[in-house]
Homo-oligomer: A and B are copies of this chain.
Amino acid sequence: MGLRFCEPAAAAYAYPLILRHVLRSAVTLAPQQQIVYRDRRFSYSELAARVDQLALALARLGVGPGSMVAVMDWDSHRYLEAFLAIPMMGAVLMTVNVRLSADQVGHTLRHSGAEVLVLNSEFAAAAAALLPSLSSLQHIIWISDEGAAPPSSLAVAGEYEALLALESGAYPWKDFDEQAQAVQFYTTGTTGLPKAVGFSHRQILLKVLVTYGAWAAQAPGQSFRQGDVYMPITPMFHVQAWAFPYVALLLGVKHIYPGKYDPPTLLRLVKEEGVTFSHCVPTLLDIMLHAPESRDVDLAGWKVCVGGAGLSPGLAKAALTRGIDVFAGYGLSETYAGTLLTGFGGDYGLLPEDAQLDLRCKAGRALPLVEVRVVDERMRDVPHDGRSAGELVVRTPWALQGYLGMPDDSKQLWRDGYLHTQDLATIDPGGYVTIVDRLKDVIKSGGEWISSLELESLLSRHPEVAEAAVIAVADERWGERPVALVVARLPSSADLPDRLRTYLSALADEGHISRYAIPARIDLVTTLPKTSVGKLDKKALRALHS
């Protein structure tokens, strides 16, 4: 006998998991709630009306199911409107990573075959230069917060607000297959051109529902729920700000969109708008904490979820000292952001301070609907002892189906039936995952593995260290040896490297690291290169310092 199935009485039963439900729920729950960008404030009801207008305006330009519509903008109410209107039409939203080089932006626009580009005037020069090579592009929608006119080299279909103002009434929304692609963006690997990734309505909606539940259910210092005030500090082009704008809509909370990230502005908004929940990469948190303006802002009650790169205990402590409830999550572009989170249970407050700090910095445990394993090269689970390392592999409904148009890379990503994160990790008896290193960043020295992340984390706890990066350099005897690159917090004395070696040596004496992990070379540098989404650019570091 096989599985049983109920027979639907009506086609209407087939209720697809599409993003339109998010907007309807938001407007039902909190029609008067606000969305804030600069001096403009829109209610959720106005958002819904503007989403209709945007869809009607796009339809007038020929956009329909399957069209590719690219957006180049900083975080704004417009981007939120694009998050909704474009996928809701059955079209694909392509979120352009505006921090990439002009060449790379050009590649992503060409590769996507974008037909319409919603363009912020700040990127006009780059777009004008790329224009001759964008053969699919048919229309540009112009945005300028300053009221700037488009350059003569750019023929635009109209200005965003002007195009919306021409439209009224409701767009004829229709249900469609939940497996339809909703969004496309590009992930920058270690080699070659950015890779195209796409996610379906079903994938995003399931991710949003799980995030909604998992964050809302948390203890107060770590929760995101009714009554919070939301401001993204992960760009909306970066995995759609990790899906949180959609979650914020489901929660019916106030949204603050900060435009281009400028630390004084971000801090002012936290204070003036009473922001209680944000998410960002560690670098941005560090910059905000050390911005001169941050001294005047009371940051108590601000919950900040850190991801994209590991949260170091040093940074976590600095944030906690300022009253920020900081904690880490874990995800990749390939997992549509967060898949792991450490929920602080009722016994969290009873833990010693160091253990609390460690917990805040862990990658975390699998969220609902996520299956996590840590495996060796032959897909055997490593012991759950918190020490044995292996590759973190996952399954979840929102895991990337494959890199678009790259079947070989896709098969490699999914070999043995799991999505391979390329992160080296340990898992403890409680299911908590700790990331040891990126597989490609781990340092193989004399047959042993040295974690660059662990060394960076320990160095970051030293009071004189602002930032640290550890890379491998080739070594005749050992194969590879670690080299530490350190940005000093204060105008530095030349002997900081010696003091750091002594500090690491003491940690080795206490058993926190192996003696062979202590870098022979510790260089002081004034800055560390970052990727377009604010992570340490190890590739560039290796090129500069090897």
Contact = CB atoms under 8 A, between A and B. Distances in A.
Interface stretch (A3-11, A287-295, A441-449, A474-482): A3-11
Interface in A179-201: 179-181, 198-200
Contacts of A399: 13, 15
A80 interface: no
Contacts of A251: 217
A90 B252 CA distance: 37
B64 A1 contact: yes
Contacts of A9: 401-403, 407, 410-411, 413-414
A319 interface: no
Contacts of A5: 177, 179-181, 200
Nearest to A17: B397
A2 B417 contact: no
Which of A1, A3, A179, A369 has the largest count of B CB atoms less than 10 A from its CB?
Answer: A3
Given A9-B401, A209-B368, A66 B1 contact: yes
A401 B219 contact: no
Interface stretch (A25-33, A103-111, A310-318): A25-33
A206 B24 CA distance: 17
Contact of A226 (B8, B13, B198, B219): B219
A170 to B, nearest CB: 13
A7 B406 CA distance: 10
Which of A31, A212, A213, A343 has the largest count of B CB atoms less than 10 A from its CB?
Answer: A213
A413 B9 CA distance: 8
A501 interface: no
Interface of A is mostly: loop
A67 B1 contact: yes
A491 interface: no
A64 to B, nearest CB: 7
A147 interface: no
Copies in the complex: 2
A12 interface: yes
Contact of A346 (B11, B13, B219, B227): B227
A208 to B, nearest CB: 9
A66 B2 CA distance: 5
Contacts of A15: 369, 395-397, 399
A463 interface: no
A496 B6 CA distance: 52
Which of A67, A217, A365 has the largest count of B CB atoms less than 10 A from its CB?
Answer: A217
A430 B217 contact: no
A272 to B, nearest CB: 19
Interface string A215-235: 011110000011100000000
Interface residues of A, number: 79
Contacts of A252: 343, 345
A324 interface: no
A22 B365 CA distance: 14
Nearest to A411: B9
A381 to B, nearest CB: 13
Given A9-B414, A65-B3, A217 B216 contact: yes
Contacts of A367: 25
A12 B180 contact: no
A372 B24 CA distance: 10
A4 to B, nearest CB: 4
B29 A365 contact: yes
Contact of A3 (B90, B346, B418): B90
A11 B65 CA distance: 26
Contacts of A67: 1
Contacts of A219: 226-227
B217 A418 contact: no
A225 B199 CA distance: 30
A404 interface: yes
Nearest to A21: B369
Contacts of A212: 213, 217, 368
A226 B221 CA distance: 12
A338 to B, nearest CB: 14
Interface of A: 1-13, 15, 17, 21-22, 24-25, 28-31, 64-67, 90, 92, 176-177, 179-181, 198-200, 206, 209-210, 212-213, 216-219, 225-227, 250-252, 343, 345-346, 365-369, 371-372, 395-397, 399, 401-404, 407, 410-411, 413-414, 417-418, 430-431
Please give me the 9 A-B residue pairs with the lowest Cβ-Cβ distance, nearest first: A9-B402, A9-B410, A10-B414, A216-B216, A213-B213, A12-B417, A212-B213, A1-B66, A3-B180
Given A12-B418, A217-B251, A218-B225, 14 more contacts: A3-B181, A4-B66, A6-B198, A10-B410, A10-B411, A11-B417, A13-B399, A13-B402, A30-B345, A212-B217, A216-B225, A218-B226, A219-B226, A226-B345
10 contacts: A10-B417, A12-B414, A12-B417, A21-B369, A25-B368, A28-B365, A29-B365, A30-B345, A219-B226, A226-B346
